[in-house]
Amino acid sequence: MHTRPYIVVDDQVPFLEGITGKHARIIRKPGHLIEARDIRNADALIVRTRTVCSAALLQDSSVSFIGSPTIGTDHIDMEFCKAKGIAVANAPGCNSGAVMQYVFTALVAWAGSRKCDLRNKTLGIIGVGNVGKKVATLAGHLGMHTILNDPPRARAEGPHGFSDLGFLLEKSDIVTMHVPLDPLTRGMAHRNFFASMKGSACFINTSRGDVVDEGALREASPRLGGIILDVWHGEPHIDPATVSITDIATPHIAGYSLEGKRNASQQVVRALAKHYGWDDLKDYSIVLPTVGQVPQDLLFTRCFPIFVEDKQLRTAPEQFEHLRNAYVFRREWTPEQYRQLTLCLPHKISS
């Protein structure tokens, strides 16, 4: 290893200014263009999901650390890394607040377009981890009923409070996905899944695109009451036919808040500091600007004008990657704003 480690970084990863020249030599490159030859002499990588860290990419490199400021690691061959002694750090929970904000912003927008009230609706949450727990908590505050499905948690904690998937699909007015992508969840939202959903129910996916069989979703779309998608099969080359059946479509930016990006970069830099013994960065932190004032009745709309993103993607789905990379990170609700959230009749909230 070099005296100063050589680190290849996805050029879309923000908040790494604390890693100075005294710590490392850094080269930035678009994540989807990082190839084996680029990392052959690298000691570490900091990448997003656009860089697939496979055995083919890593096998001839000197990489000993991969930092991914993302909630998941499905883009990293974890078995290969374990066998080769490559340390991997990601950032679970980093953007859970942002995704929760997305879900309710999208729901209020969807309900507003239908002149319906979300209060007393039943929200089925599939996957009750960092994001799902926050979604469940806010749903309760806003007068919604929740049904929770999370088999791993039910096995570990006992079945109380959890329901099986069939019951959730049958009883829920809204179904939202918050599962990791793994062999058990890949394609879990298939033809039978959608056939089991209540007629006119709304379906939301902000987890990973490949947990949904998009062909089955398109077939089911006439009987569903709404479809909200932020993640897609084949990203960044998404299917316009799937975009066309949605009520709200966005380019995988549900977790793209300034707070979420700050949290992710902090976690990765701290892990990198531990790996290399950089004591001055072990508590690396980033201070964000103060959030501006937003009237209480506009907290669901002004903080995140979701239909702007929807229109851009719907107009040019082939521009998915550009739209995602050009997205200006929004601000999350502050604790004070969160306490002020009230679920007004959605048709009274302008979109």
Closest CA to 62 of 36, 88, 83: 36
* pLDDT given at position 343: 53
Kindly indicate the confidence band of residue 1, based on its pLDDT and cuts at 50, 70 and 90.
very low
Kindly indicate the confidence band of residue 222, based on its pLDDT and cuts at 50, 70 and 90.
very high
Least confident of 7-16, 178-187, 256-265, 336-345: 336-345
First to last CA, the chain: 54
Instruction: Say if CB 263 and CB 234 are below 8 A apart.
Output: no
Mean pLDDT along residues 66-80: 95
Which domains, and CATH codes, for the chain?
Answer: 6-90 (3.40.50.720), 96-255+299-348 (3.40.50.720)
Name the average pLDDT for the chain. 95
* pLDDT given at position 3: 77
**Long-range Cβ contacts of 134-143 (<8 Å, 24+ apart):** 134/96, 134/97, 134/99, 134/100, 135/99, 135/100, 135/103, 135/104, 135/176, 135/178, 138/100, 138/104, 138/338, 138/341, 141/341, 142/104, 142/118, 142/341, 142/342, 142/343, 143/118, 143/119, 143/343
Mean pLDDT along residues 206-216: 98
* pLDDT given at position 296: 87
Mean pLDDT along residues 19-44: 97
Mean pLDDT along residues 248-261: 97
pTM of the model: 0.91
* pLDDT given at position 66: 98
Instruction: Kindly list the catalytic residues.
Output: 208, 235, 252
Instruction: Say if CB 259 and CB 97 are below 8 A apart.
Output: yes
Mean pLDDT along residues 164-174: 98
The per-residue DSSP string of 173-201 comes to SEEEE----STTTTT-B-HHHHHHSPTT-
* pLDDT for 348 beyond 80: no
Percent of the chain with pLDDT over 90: 92
